[in-house]
Chain A
Amino acid sequence: MSTAPAHAADEVLLAFARAVRAAGVAVTADRERTWLEAAAAVDVGDQARTYWAGRATLCASPSDLERFDQVYAAWFGRQRATASSRRPSAPTVSVASLDASGEASGERDPEAVRAQANSAEVLRHRDVASLGPHERAHLATMFAQLKPRSPRRPAHRHTAAPRGLVDARRTLRGQLRRMGEPGPIQWRRRGTCPRRVVLLVDVSGSMSAYADSLLRLSHAFTATGQPVEVFTLGTRLTHVTRALHQRDAERALAACGDAVPDWAGGTRLAEGVRAFLDRWGRRGMARGAVVVVFSDGWERDSPMALGEQMRRLRALAHRVVWVNPHRGKPGYEPVQQGIVAALPHVDHFVAGHSMAAFEELVEVVGRA
């Protein structure tokens, strides 16, 4: 098709709308009609106004604008110097591309997009410990997509509900408002409120490949604004909740790094859990909470001690979840003495080695 003068103006304009549709913008028939009306209203001779009329009638979101501009440039042979390149972030974080060299030119190629989506899918299932620096950077952006839901517990107070107990007060108050006229009966039911989540992250040497991802996961939990407490376990116990309470994940991790004195050292799991229970847990933090322990179960001290501490923890907490990165690997058997001692006192034993496993974990915690 060409823009030869033999074509009626409407035909050219309509063909342009079809081209915009072909470029991936959802141009429907009624939009085409509006576009023709708008173009007629602004006078087709006026290039700038026609351009703006097309943008307003054929596009529906910032991503459409870019496609529209490209088609416009190709169709009418003019490059519009348009508004700044800064576009809003979409409400959801887009799926990160794996290929670091994915330049702008290839991005709108549907094939390329599909390939990227696939590689992001692959990345979701890859073991975090086996990733290179580029992939790690992409994985970091994927944590923003995790939306942990905090578990709920029954609250003391009643709230309005479609059925349940008769809410006599509210029914009568409504009647008073209507000057004594009886109205529908109101019902009430006990509400729910968020249950506390406590994360104990093992940052010892054997877990160092996972520590970064696990702390990012912890940051995603704290970012929900629900009651979440985070501790790191190594040779000693460190409370890092405050360090993680920053919007920016990178800064939160940096602050966390400053706070933790024993990165990649040995593990004294039993000692750490005991310190947690004595200093925090028994005083209320673990009571009725969902406690998640991220560890591979390598224990320097005696496994019996760990078993005893886990029993204490289980007695206080609502649910105890043990996350072991190695569990997701083929051929894994829980044979480390620490794990063997701890397992009887654990409600859920889940994997924690990839993004997909983290998503499952978030589900498990949300439902606990």
Chain B
Amino acid sequence: MEPREAFATADELAQRLAGTGYLADDSLATVAWLALRLERPLLLEGEPGTGKTALAEAVAAALDVPLIRLQCYEGIDSTQALYDWDFPRQILHLRAVEAVAGDGRRDVAAVEDELFDQRCLLARPVLRALRESPAVLLVDEVDRADDEFEAFLLEVLSTWQVTIPELGTVSAATPPVVVLTSNRTRELHDALKRRCLYHWIDHPGLRRELEIVHTRIPGVSETLAAQVVSAVQRLRSDHDLIKPPGVAETLDWARALQELGASELDLETAAASLGVAVKYREDAERVRAALERILA
């Protein structure tokens, strides 16, 4: 089924996402649903660990289509995002032709055509997404890539097609669902933002986070989940931490405590397992000093 038509309302999408273990609140479900309906890329920003990447995975699961992930990094260029020619393979092909037809009777143009054939094409994530669409294309941490790469993405995201000079134009029958995530290490270009629907994901509230813990870690005890979530919420709100723990850290912490066999979060176990939730030495010191108050 086409992604555009898959869900009649935002509520339906939210339910299906919940079915895959992702609890989207009303706002996120609406925006994600609009992205599907209007066939627009969805730009998600927010603190690390608030579930930006997980949303793309959940949407792919809910639509039952493949998830194609493009991790951005400094210096990424179109040969890593789009396509590349398999040079060794082309050379191998030439040598093979030499060996087989040594008398030179073969048509030169035909051999050249064979070199730039689908066989020698290495499809990278964006091209794969266009070819395999319907699919979900996750462009992760786009803020890490350079400006030039943004301009290149812009071209693909607005036309949904890619031109390979030797092969012709590849266009998607149905545009893939595109999710871009950014940690705001730098401001994205306006032109790219304009193509996208924008949503800022906040840390979830106490209730919602508790639900998330129960959904993601089925065996966790009621008291442990409540204690971990309220401790994390307190860390986020009243301590000036360099990196406040995200939902991912909450889940890791609860899982770690479960593995340790703790039925509730006391001073000792909290101090021992703090490294799962707090990842800076300065933060750890600050939290350790105030641990009693946080757990109270």
> Bound complex: CA of A147 vs CA of B181, how far in Å?
27
A88 CB contacts on chain B under 8 angstroms: 45-47, 184
Q: Indicate if the CB atoms of B202 and A56 lie closer than 8 Å.
A: no
Q: Indicate if the CB atoms of B190 and A181 lie closer than 8 Å.
A: no
**Nearest CB of B to A43, in Å:** 9
Q: Indicate if the CB atoms of A178 and B194 lie closer than 8 Å.
A: no
- Quick check: is B95 within 8 A (CB to CB) of the other chain? yes
Q: Indicate if the CB atoms of A178 and B87 lie closer than 8 Å.
A: yes
A55 CB contacts on chain B under 8 angstroms: 27, 31, 198-199
- What 0/1 pattern do residues 97 to 112 of B give for CB contact below 8 A with A? 0000000000000000
Instruction: Answer whether A26 and B26 are a contact pair too, CB < 8 Å, given A42-B10, A91-B184, A179-B95.
Output: no
Question: Which of these binds chain A: B32-40, B66-74, B124-132?
Answer: B32-40
Q: Which residues of A, 316-355, contact B by the 8 Å Cβ criterion?
A: none
> Bound complex: CA of A45 vs CA of B203, how far in Å?
29
B95 CB contacts on chain A under 8 angstroms: 179
Q: Indicate if the CB atoms of B27 and A84 lie closer than 8 Å.
A: no
- Quick check: is A102 within 8 A (CB to CB) of the other chain? no
Which one, B47, B187, B198, contacts A56 given CB within 8 A? B198
B186 CB contacts on chain A under 8 angstroms: 91
Which one, A26, A38, A59, A178, contacts B190 given CB within 8 A? A26
> Bound complex: CA of A51 vs CA of B37, how far in Å?
17
Q: Indicate if the CB atoms of A91 and B185 lie closer than 8 Å.
A: yes
Q: Indicate if the CB atoms of A41 and B202 lie closer than 8 Å.
A: no
- Quick check: is B152 within 8 A (CB to CB) of the other chain? no
Q: Indicate if the CB atoms of A38 and B91 lie closer than 8 Å.
A: no
Instruction: Answer whether A52 and B26 are a contact pair too, CB < 8 Å, given A30-B194, A60-B190, A248-B282.
Output: yes
Q: Indicate if the CB atoms of B31 and A86 lie closer than 8 Å.
A: no
Instruction: Answer whether A247 and B282 are a contact pair too, CB < 8 Å, given A34-B38, A179-B88.
Output: yes
| Residues of A in contact, count (CB < 8 Å) | 35
- Quick check: is B197 within 8 A (CB to CB) of the other chain? yes
> Bound complex: CA of A59 vs CA of B33, how far in Å?
17
| Residues of B in contact, count (CB < 8 Å) | 35
Chain B interface main SS type: helix
B185 CB contacts on chain A under 8 angstroms: 91
Q: Which residues of B, 1-51, contact A by the 8 Å Cβ criterion?
A: 10, 26-27, 30-31, 33-35, 37-38, 40, 45-47
**Nearest CB of A to B89, in Å:** 10
> Bound complex: CA of A246 vs CA of B242, how far in Å?
12
- Quick check: is B271 within 8 A (CB to CB) of the other chain? no
> Bound complex: CA of A48 vs CA of B11, how far in Å?
12
Q: Indicate if the CB atoms of A91 and B187 lie closer than 8 Å.
A: yes
A34 CB contacts on chain B under 8 angstroms: 38, 40, 197
- Quick check: is A61 within 8 A (CB to CB) of the other chain? yes
Look across to chain B and name the residue whose beta carbon is closest to the beta carbon of A246.
B282
Instruction: Answer whether A28 and B30 are a contact pair too, CB < 8 Å, given A41-B38, A181-B91.
Output: no
A61 CB contacts on chain B under 8 angstroms: 45, 187, 193, 198
- Quick check: is B92 within 8 A (CB to CB) of the other chain? yes
A38 CB contacts on chain B under 8 angstroms: 34, 38, 197
- Quick check: is A269 within 8 A (CB to CB) of the other chain? no
> Bound complex: CA of A65 vs CA of B198, how far in Å?
10
**Nearest CB of B to A20, in Å:** 13
Q: Which residues of A, 28-49, contact B by the 8 Å Cβ criterion?
A: 28, 30-31, 34, 37-38, 41-42, 48-49
- Quick check: is A53 within 8 A (CB to CB) of the other chain? yes
B187 CB contacts on chain A under 8 angstroms: 61, 90-91
Q: Indicate if the CB atoms of A31 and B202 lie closer than 8 Å.
A: no
Q: Indicate if the CB atoms of B203 and A53 lie closer than 8 Å.
A: no
> Bound complex: CA of A55 vs CA of B199, how far in Å?
8
Q: Indicate if the CB atoms of A52 and B200 lie closer than 8 Å.
A: no
**Nearest CB of A to B232, in Å:** 14
A90 CB contacts on chain B under 8 angstroms: 184, 187
- Quick check: is A62 within 8 A (CB to CB) of the other chain? yes
- Quick check: is A309 within 8 A (CB to CB) of the other chain? no
**Nearest CB of A to B116, in Å:** 16
Instruction: Answer whether A41 and B91 are a contact pair too, CB < 8 Å, given A60-B198, A65-B200, A84-B202.
Output: no
Q: Which 4 A-B pairs have the closest CB atoms?
A: A52-B30, A56-B197, A60-B193, A56-B31
List, sorted by A's number, 27 A–B pairs whose CB atoms are closer than 8 Å: A28-B194, A34-B40, A34-B197, A37-B38, A42-B10, A42-B34, A49-B30, A53-B31, A53-B34, A55-B27, A55-B199, A56-B30, A56-B35, A57-B34, A57-B197, A57-B198, A61-B193, A65-B200, A83-B27, A84-B203, A86-B203, A90-B187, A177-B88, A179-B92, A246-B282, A247-B242, A247-B282
* Residues of A participating in the B interface, judged by any CB pair closer than 8 Å: 26, 28, 30-31, 34, 37-38, 41-42, 48-49, 52-53, 55-57, 59-62, 65, 83-84, 86, 88, 90-91, 177-179, 181, 246-248, 251
Given contacts A41-B38, A56-B198, 10 further A-B contacts (CB under 8 A): A34-B38, A37-B38, A52-B27, A55-B198, A65-B200, A83-B202, A84-B202, A91-B186, A178-B87, A247-B242
